[in-house]
Amino acid sequence: MQERPAYLRVADELRQQIQSGHYQPGARLPTMEELRRFYGVSEIVIRHAVSLLRHEGLVETRRGGGTVVRARPQVRRRAMERYTVDAQQAQGRYVTDPRTSFTEDHAIGWEDYRLTARYSEATADEELAALFGAEPGTALLRRHFVFYVRGEPEQISINFLPLALVAGTPVADPAREPWPGGTLAQLAYLGHPVSRVEESVRARLPTEPETRTLQLARGVPVFAIMRRLISGDDVLEVCRHIVIPADRVVLEYGIDLPAAGPVGAPGDLGKSRTEKSEFTGRCALSVAWVLLDADPTGE
């Protein structure tokens, strides 16, 4: 049997040491020269091994700081629960304790949360028009956000709102961000409480601008989430897309099943609150669910 290339053997051992905790997140690996002497191989072999680990998202090279193990916090995005925080903010709860679903996901306080916002007017292309149930060319407000946790970029969000709904209101003013409760609270402020949230999730490689903005290691994929916020029969927000580094988050889903009872026709299963949930072989996930379907007044 042909022996594995030397750089793969070195990468295997370093990977095992990282995953076992021998090298903790933030720890610096030995220098190239130290690794070369330890393994008895050439510098090019070490460079290939470290490059492979960098491609896998396990390490990063910092200018003047050598190669360090990347911190990989496990943020939990609880899809069926997270928007409850925004809904409660919209109802005026937690007035002295501002929150959003994002701060809840990351378990941080308001002082550790920051975002940058760029607003511009846009018109609906065919995809956006279909998502809104409107005509192509409909005037929209485009909002580009980058979300930070303790100064580190963690999420990009680009959402669209009907310009006729928000023009001239505080919702159209980027200086009012961040807004406790996020877009759900903003729509409630405008008199349109959200009664349904729909999300579609897929995995893909990031674009170059996303890689730069989120400071992604080479080879790390992202989750791209398409979202619609619906009030009654009206789609009032389309988010295309929420972009999250896939190595920093765990997506959690809870699915309500019909109450136990007599076995009915197969079509009866379609009446559950969770309408669609499917995985494909390319790690694409499409989920639509009904949230916040109680009386918006909280009664």
Question: Is 142 inside any structural domain?
Answer: yes
The reported pTM is 0.71
Q: Phi and psi (nearest 5°) for 47?
A: -65, -40
Mark whether 182 and 65 lie in a shared domain. Answer: no
Same domain for 265 and 210: yes
- 136 and 31 belong to one structural domain: no
Task: Note the pLDDT tens digit of each residue in 203-244.
Answer: 999 999 999 999 887 778 999 999 999 999 999 999 999 999
Residue 281 is predicted with a pLDDT of: 33
pLDDT of residue 72: 66
| Domain boundary, last residue among 52, 69, 86 | 69
Q: Which residues contact 156 (CB under 8 A, 6 or more apart)?
A: 144, 145, 146, 147, 210, 213, 214, 241, 242, 243
Element (H, E) at 200: strand 196-204
> Domain of 273?
75-289
CA 12 – CA 192 distance, rounded (Å): 55
- How many angstroms separate the CA atoms of 156 and 145, rounded? 6
Q: Do 201 and 271 reside in the same domain of the chain?
A: yes
Residue-level pLDDT at 266? 53
Shared domain for 28 and 124, answered yes or no, is: no
Please give the Cα distance from 204 to 217 (Å, whole number): 14
**243-290: pLDDT as tens digits:** 999 988 888 888 788 876 665 555 554 444 434 333 333 333 433 333
Residue at 191: amino acid letter: G
| Residue 5 pLDDT greater than 70, yes or no | yes
Distances in Å between the alpha carbon of 88 and those of 91, 92, 237? 5, 7, 19
How many structural domains is the chain composed of? Answer: 2
Judge whether 283 lies within some domain: yes
The length of the chain in residues reads: 299
Q: Is the domain of 63 the same as that of 186?
A: no
What is the percent of the chain where pLDDT is above 90?
60
Residues 103 and 250 in one domain: yes
274 plus 225 within the same structural domain: yes
Domain boundary among 20, 45, 69: 69
The least confident of 48-62, 152-166, 196-210 is 48-62
Q: Is the pLDDT of residue 143 over 60?
A: yes
The last residue of one of the domains, among 69, 93, 113, is: 69
CATH label of the domain that carries residue 57: 1.10.10.10
